[in-house]
Amino acid sequence: MSEIYTSTASGPDSGTARERSRLSFDLDVDICVVGAGLAGLTVGLEAARLGASVAVLEGRHVGWGASGHQLGTVMPGFGLPVGDLIARIGFEDTRELWALSKQGAEFVRANASEQLIPGIAISEGALEVSNVDAGDQLISRLQMLAEDFETEVEGWQVERVRDHLRTDRYFHGVYFPRAFQIDGRKYVHGLAALARRAGARIFEDTPVVSIDSSGIRKRIVTPSARLRASHIVLAGNVHLGAPLRRLSETLLPVWRYAAITAPLGERLAETIAFKGSVTDTDGIDHFRIVDGDRLMWASPETTWDARPTRFASAIARRIRTVFPRLGPVEIAEVWGGAVGETVHGMPQIGQLRKGLWVASGFGRQGLNTTAMAGQLIARSILWGDERWRLFSPFELVWAGGSTGRVAGHVIGMWGRGSAAAAGALARYRERVRKQERIREARLAEANRQAGTRPPRPRPQPGRPRPERARPDRARPEGSPPPAVANPGGSEGAS
Strands 294-298 and 286-290: antiparallel
Domain boundary among 366, 399, 432: 399
* Same domain flag for 395 and 405: no
Whole-number Å distance between alpha carbons of 23 and 206 = 6
**336 and 438 fall within a common domain:** yes
Across 427-438, average pLDDT: 76
| CATH number for position 375 | 3.50.50.60
Between 137 and 114, name the one with better pLDDT: 114
Identify whether residues 206 and 73 lie together within a single domain.
yes
- The answer on 407 and 385 residing in a single domain is no
Q: What is the mean pLDDT of residues 309-338?
A: 90
**In angstroms, what is the C-alpha Rg of the chain?**
35
Domain presence at residue 8: yes
173 and 265 belong to one structural domain: yes
Could you tell me if residue 468 is inside a domain? no
Q: What is the dihedral of CA 376, 8, 77, 158, to 10 degrees?
A: 170
In a domain, 456, yes or no: no
Domain assignment present for 306: yes
Residue 434 lies in domain? 123-180+253-341+401-442
488 part of a folded domain: no
Say if 171 falls within a structural domain: yes
CATH number, position 136: 3.30.9.10
Pairing type for strands 154-156 and 173-181 reads: antiparallel
Residue 188, phi then psi, degrees to nearest 5: -65, -35
Residue with more model confidence, 39 or 246: 39
- For 78, which DSSP code? -
How would residue 4 be classed by pLDDT, with cut points 50, 70 and 90?
A: very low
The strand pairing partners of 350, in sequence order, are 358
Instruction: Specify whether 332 is located in the same domain as 358.
Output: no
> 386 and 322, same structural domain?
no
Indicate whether 312 and 424 sit together in one domain: yes
391 and 420 inside one domain: no
Q: Is residue 260 part of a domain?
A: yes
Average pLDDT along the chain: 83
Specify whether 279 is located in the same domain as 334: yes
Residues 6+ apart with CB under 8 A from 61: 8, 14, 15, 20, 36, 204, 205
Continuous segment of H or E residues that includes residue 42: helix 38-49
Digit-coded pLDDT (tens) for 229-264:
999 999 987 776 666 777 778 888 888 888 999 999
Reported as a pLDDT band with limits 50, 70 and 90, residue 274 is very high
**Does some domain include residue 449?**
no
Gap between the Cα atoms of 286 and 83, Å rounded? 22
The torsion angles phi and psi of 4, rounded to 5 degrees, stand at: -125, 130
Identify the band that residue 12 occupies on the pLDDT scale cut at 50, 70 and 90: very low
Number of domains in the chain: 2
pLDDT at 10: 39
pLDDT over threshold 90, residue 67: no
Query: Which string of DSSP letters, residue by residue, matches 128-176?
Result: EE-SS--HHHHHHHHHIIIIIS----EEE-HHHHHHHB--SS---EEEE
Split at pLDDT 50, 70, 90, the class of 188 is very high
Q: What is the DSSP string of 349-410?
A: EEEEETTEEEEE--TTT-HHHHHHHHHHHHHHHHH---GGGGGTTS------HHHHHHHHHH
User: Do residue 217 and residue 286 come from a single domain?
Assistant: no
Q: Which of 14-18, 24-28, 211-215, 320-324 has the lowest mean pLDDT?
A: 14-18
Q: Which of 399, 417, 433 is the last residue of a domain?
A: 399
Query: Is the pLDDT reported for residue 314 higher than 50?
Result: yes
Q: 443: exposed, middle or buried (C-beta count within 10 Å: 0-12, 13-18, 19+)?
A: exposed
**Residues 317 and 367 reside in one and the same domain:** no
